[in-house]
Amino acid sequence: MCMFCSSRANAKLPTGGCPGCGTAWPYGEVRALRALQIISGFVFITLGGFCLYFSALVLKDFFPGHKMPWGPFAVLLGVGTIFLVGGLSSFFGKSWLFRVLLIFFGVVLRRRRDPGQV
């Protein structure tokens, strides 16, 4: 199964990548990647729930005597919504947030490993 093109074949290319789009990672067995999608869905929904809960606390002025500007509320609400929607997409098999994080950290780690190449 490929996380990018949703190809559900267990066969690999001779070079070790997805037969649908040719990416080498993240490509693996269907049951392993489906479990990874479900677990990442739980994690993203939990993080999104905490962010939305704390944004509601900021909105209610739960912390007495402290007036907070609108910036932390907007950031918490935005991040919480992105995590919540990303977690739901992982449950339904799309995993767009997981793919974005894989691309970002894959590029960062690749640059860290090969400092001479850009």
Can you say how many angstroms the Cα of residue 9 is from the centroid of all Cα atoms in its chain?
Answer: 23
Residue 18 lies in a domain: no
For the chain, the distance separating the N- and C-terminal CA atoms, rounded to the nearest angstrom, is: 29
Domain total of the chain: 1
Residue 23 belongs to some domain of the structure? no
Report if residue 24 sits inside a domain. no
Is residue 100, in this structure, part of any structural domain at all? Answer: yes
Q: Considering the domain boundaries, does residue 9 fall inside one?
A: no
Question: Is 29 part of a structural domain of the chain?
Answer: no
Across the range 64-87, mean pLDDT stands at 83
Q: Are 43 and 87 in contact (CB under 8 A)?
A: yes
pLDDT of residue 56: 81
In a domain, 16, yes or no: no
Provide the residue range defining the domain that includes 71: 36-113
Per-residue pLDDT at 107 exceeds 80: no
DSSP state of 26: T
| 30: nearest Cα among 9, 4, 12, 14 | 9
What mean pLDDT, rounded, does the chain reach?
A: 77
Residues 23-63 pLDDT 10s = 666 666 777 778 888 998 999 999 999 998 888 877 776 55
Cα 52 to Cα 59, 76, 103: the distances in Å are 10, 7, 26
In this structure, the number of other CB atoms found within 10 A of the CB of residue 21 comes to: 12
Burial 60-79 (b: 16+ CB within 10 A, else e): eeeeeeeeeeeeebeebbeb
Confidence of residue 84 (pLDDT cuts 50, 70, 90): very high
